[in-house]
Amino acid sequence: MAAFSYTAINNAGKTVKGVIEGDSERQVRAHLRGQQLKPLTVATTREKSAKGGGRKGAEASGFSLAKLFPASLNIKERALVTRQLASLLQSGLPLDESLNTAAKQAGRPAVQSILFSIRSRVLEGHSLAQAFSEHPKSFDSMYRSMVRAGESSGYLGQVMEQLAEYIERNQHTANKLKMAMIYPVVLLTVSVSVVTILMVFVVPDLVQMFEQNERTLPLITRILIGFSDLLRNFGWLILLLLIGGVVGFQYLIKNAERRRTWHRFLLRVPLVKSVILLADSSRFAGTLSLLVESGVPLLQALRIATQVLGNTELQHACSDVSRTVQEGGSLNKALKQAGWFPPLLVQMTASGEANGTLDKQLKHCATNQERELEMKLTTTLGIFEPAIVVIMGGAIAFIMMAILLPIFDLNQMVGH
């Protein structure tokens, strides 16, 4: 039985879309007509070419919008689907029925399509990990490796439960970081906007009354007028240069060697270094713990955990760690030789290897690093926010002084 996506017209004349299972397109069309729907297009979710009216030219050329923009699950949907499958499997429901129930619970047709497609592959005799591999954007290599380990060990439900907790924990951490960044970003944007408006629209009108005075204006006022003229006359060029600089920088670091050089530089900037190391080491330890606990071999787990590191220099260091372990070295010594990983991670890894509790020690380390990262970010943002206020307050005070000094001079002239 395959999954079909359809577009049809109901009795009210409205177009409806959805996903349905069936043995053939003809059966699906007949089923839709039985529901008082007039089918317009019916296509399997795994078709290699686009179907439907108005796209015949695209069919001839082999072009498919589904190929160009494949459906995928976002992190919230992936967490929800994983949690649902874990609950259904642990309740004793067969895998195909669990997938069918999760698909029917999905709120978005694209999610239904993916889950029905996975169910179809499972019914054809493929493993769940193999079915997931057809949707790499929704289920990454770490996810698939854990599912494969769960299937081989016979504890798929428990492994899916661990995966759900891992995804939800990462989502919670990401949301906290985003929420923490909202206030500083808004504050900086508003402050820069206020100063720019003052310089471009307000200052020129106030300064006009000084131009008729033959007396030399104070240095601070001349600087303000020059900066205001620069923004008024060349503001668009400055903005283009800034955008061009950002785009050009992004293009340059697409090169692997240049990106590694940039990431190596970031690891030498004091405050940035600590944040990057805490974020990446907690993610690395958490992923490695989950994989080892699920029964994935250590070497394979290391290669997968390397992919979750955001810093290229750390990825290369982790590749060296994998090589050392493959040659027979211990994990804790390999991490220590790499030179980048925090001492806590190295020490807890050594303890875990000695006691046979590597997965638990790595999990404790990941939790500890996440808490330390949260405190570090809270401290950093606590410094950053008043710094913005002081800098912007200084800029506004500079503008006010540059305007008020000539006025004081005029008052003194009138008084004499």
> Residue 104 belongs to what domain range?
75-167
15 forms bridges with which residues in the sheet? 9
Q: Mean pLDDT throughout 317-343?
A: 90
- Looking at the structure, tell me whether residues 146 and 59 fall in a common domain: no
- Rounded to whole angstroms, how far apart are CA atoms 401 and 263? 42
- The whole-number average pLDDT for the span 407-416 is 61
In our burial notation (b when 16+ CB lie closer than 10 A, e otherwise), range 286-314 reads: bbbbbbbbbbbebeebbbbbbebbebbbb
- The reply to whether 21 falls in a domain is yes
Rounded Cα–Cα distance for residues 127 and 113 (Å): 18
Which whole number is the average pLDDT over 122-142? 86
For residue 232, being part of any structural domain is answered with no
For residue 396, is it within any domain?
no
Region 114-135: what's the mean pLDDT? 87
Q: Residue 60 pLDDT > 50, yes or no?
A: no
- pLDDT over threshold 80, residue 328: yes
Residues 51, 102 share a domain:
no
Looking at 167, 199, 224, the residue that finishes a domain is 167
Q: Is residue 205 part of a domain?
A: no
Written as one letter, the residue type at 37 is: L
Instruction: Give residue-wise pLDDT tens across range 188-245.
Output: 888 888 888 878 887 777 767 666 666 677 788 888 888 888 888 888 898 899 999 9
pLDDT of 66 above 80? no
Task: Look at residue 51 in the predicted model and tell me its pLDDT.
Answer: 39
Kindly report which listed range (134-143, 150-159, 340-349) carries the lowest average pLDDT score: 150-159
Q: What mean pLDDT comes out for the span 363-391?
A: 84
Considering the domain boundaries, does residue 197 fall inside one? no
**Which of the four pLDDT bands, split at 50, 70 and 90, describes residue 313?**
very high
Burial per residue of 347-364, b for 16 or more beta-carbon CB atoms within 10 angstroms, e otherwise: ebbbbbbeeeebbbbbbb
Secondary structure class of 36 (helix, strand, coil): coil
Tell me, yes or no, whether 82 and 62 share the same domain: no
Compute the distance between CA of residue 324 and CA of residue 43 in angstroms, rounded to an integer. Answer: 50
> pLDDT value at position 212?
63
Task: Look up the CATH number of the domain holding residue 335.
Answer: 1.20.81.30
Q: pLDDT at residue 266 above 50? A: yes
- Using the 3D structure, point to which of 142, 167, 192 is the last residue of a domain: 167
Is residue 321 situated within a structural domain?
yes
Assess contact for 405 and 218: CB atoms under 8 A. Answer: yes
In a domain, 126, yes or no: yes
Q: Do 128 and 151 touch, CB atoms closer than 8 A?
A: yes
Smallest CA-to-CA distance from 381 within 217, 184, 232, 237 is with 184
Specify if 355 maps to a domain: yes
**pLDDT value at residue 411:** 63
pLDDT band of residue 364 (cuts 50, 70, 90) is: very high
Per the structure, how many domains does the chain have?
A: 3
Q: 63 and 109, same structural domain?
A: no
Pair 152, 124 in one domain? yes
| 309 and 283, same domain (yes or no) | yes
Whether residues 85 and 160 fall in one domain: yes
Domain boundary at 29, 46, 68, which? 68
Lowest-pLDDT range of 19-28, 42-51, 338-347: 42-51
Q: Which tens digit of pLDDT belongs to each residue from 282-297?
A: 888 888 888 888 788 8
In 77-92, which positions are buried (b, 16+ CB within 10 angstroms) versus exposed (e)? bbbbbbbbbbbbbeee
